Amino acid sequence: MRTLQFFACILSFFIVGTLAAQPGPVAKESSIGAPVVLHQDTLFHIYNSVGSFTKEERASAISKRVLALSKERFFRTDSVRVRTSALSTDIVYMDRVLMSVSETDATAAEKPQEELAEVYAAQIRESVRKTVEQYSLRSIMIEVGLALLVLVVFFFLIRYVNKLFQFIFQKVEEQQDKTLKGLKVKEYQMLTPEREVAVVLAVGRFIRLITIFILIYILLPILFSIFPWTESYADTLLLYILSPLRKIGLGIINYVPNLLTILVIVVVTHYVVKFLHFLTGEVEEGKLEIPGFYAEWAKPTYNIIRFLLYAFMFVVIFPYLPGSDSPIFQGVSVFIGILFSLGSSSAIANIVAGMVLTYMRSFKVGDRIKIGEVTGDVVEKTLLVTRVRTTKNEDITIPNAMILNNHTTNFTTCCSTEQKGLLLHTTVTIGYDVPWPKVHQALIDAALATPMVEKEPSPFVLQTSLDDFYVSYQLNAYTMNASKMAAIYSGIHQNIQDKFNEAGIEILSPHYRAQRDGNMVTIPEKYLPQDYQAPSFRVEQVQQQTPPVVHQN
């Protein structure tokens, strides 16, 4: 019977708590009475004082007398009666006065004095009778038997719960390498089948512990509710669970309007971002052309607008979040903002520089560029840094802010179909004794003999200076392979040596002194005639005639 009362108490707690949380009409304020209590059961209230006794003192004295009455070994309900005297109306048990009902009590209760006394007497009889029955040996034995029955049911419930989980664990182990084949993200094996089974078993054991804990927590209030002297503990344990659940339920119900507002904002933002993604794809594929807007700007512009939209969405829904107006939430937000502002100044500078470089169109991934003293191919371009792979296969990471503060040379943009190509140039210095048309022709022949040098436009030579000992000749040649600059320059220099040797031109600059008499020329032997011999020293003797001596006498 008490178990049914226990579950009825749970249901009524939810209903009454929910109704109490709803706004309703304001009741007329009434005076607060002092309760007369027997084993935590309120029998009635005392609203007036008598003489020097306050209403609290009266209620306490009556409660003690009723408690003593409940401990009577041979209690008789018909011995509790109302006795009327000239001064008051008393409720007595045999010859003992339990309480007196005055005219002021009757006036406060708006009932006749004797009628009010009969009502109080009936409440005392019924309450004491129930208490005596509950504390009787027969009732205690029944309650103990009921408690043992609950424990037995609980024992078998725990036992079968454990068997159920053991069955589940066995089935999980049997699914290894079948259903549970491990977790793989792309090429990375995050979880092997053995580890995945171990994780599932660990989660199952945790769920089993939670289930057993919940069953024990349900058992304790049921056991406490069986015995009258522990019934208050059952109510306390129930409040520990039901009060938070009721608050959570009411909070969810009250939060529904804000939740709908947040849902509408998120859905609208999602579809706006989706529409922008569609436009981005159209611009990248060239189906949608916007004057002055390049296709490579589409993706970064989409990322920037998407970030701004999500940031704006968060700002709009922030006031609707639960706890957004709490001091803790605000303090954490301020703390994170301070950390972000103090620790991210250089990062923000690099991000801004990355966006500026994107719209400057200085270079893109795959271009051969030169930044300061670094020359190489762009392998990665992010908002924070740019990575360049040099001709020596070195990866150099350059912050975008540093790139923005330096001049950037792009060798690849000249190799597009609209351009003639990248113009490579190198300088040699030849003495004045060699005719310049001969030098020009040898340099042009050397350029044309080099792979990856364009025939059209044809190479050309510029004489850049007339120095003291030599003339500076600059060879200019076009190429469409900027990424092969080092190999092309090496080939040009090799061919210059070969063509000059074939033409019989010695590269004697910048300062080369040779005494030709008796010395071999610097041209390799394979380019010299077979009958070539080093010239011998030419020595000329000049004989000076001595004039005749004239003697005078």
Mean pLDDT check: name the lowest of 114-118, 176-180, 339-343: 339-343
Mean pLDDT check: name the lowest of 100-109, 156-165, 372-381, 518-527: 518-527
pLDDT of residue 24: 40
Structure tokens at 553: 């006498």
pLDDT of residue 345: 66
pLDDT of residue 475: 95
pLDDT of residue 364: 82
| Mean pLDDT for the stretch of residues 80-93 | 82
pLDDT tens per residue, range 28-82? 334 688 888 887 778 888 888 887 888 888 888 888 888 888 777 677 777 888 8
* Domains, the chain, ordered by start: 2-14+34-135 (no CATH), 139-226 (no CATH), 348-410 (2.30.30.60), 422-527 (3.30.70.100)
What residues form DSSP beta bridges with 389? 377, 395
Q: Helix, strand, or coil here: 56?
A: helix
Residue 252, class by beta-carbon neighbours within 10 Å (0-12 exposed, 13-18 middle, 19+ buried)? exposed
Confidence of residue 449 (pLDDT cuts 50, 70, 90): very high
Residue 419 has pLDDT above 90, yes or no: no
Provide CB contacts within 8 A for 324, sequence distance 6+: 318
What residues form DSSP beta bridges with 243? none
Residue 439 has pLDDT above 90, yes or no: yes
- Residue 48 near residue 99, CB atoms below 8 Å: no
| Mean pLDDT for the stretch of residues 161-167 | 92
Which of 406, 527, 6 is CA-nearest to residue 228? 6
Structure tokens at 461: 């030579």
Residue 131 and residue 229: Cα distance in Å, rounded? 10
Average pLDDT, the chain: 80
Query: DSSP assignment of 232-295, as one string?
Result: HHHHHHHHHHHHHHHHHHHHHHHHHHHHHHHHHHHHHHHHHHHHHHHHHHHHHTTSS-BTTB-G
Residue 426 and residue 507: Cα distance in Å, rounded? 14
Residue 488 and residue 477: Cα distance in Å, rounded? 10
pLDDT of residue 410: 83
Share of the chain above pLDDT 90, in %: 20
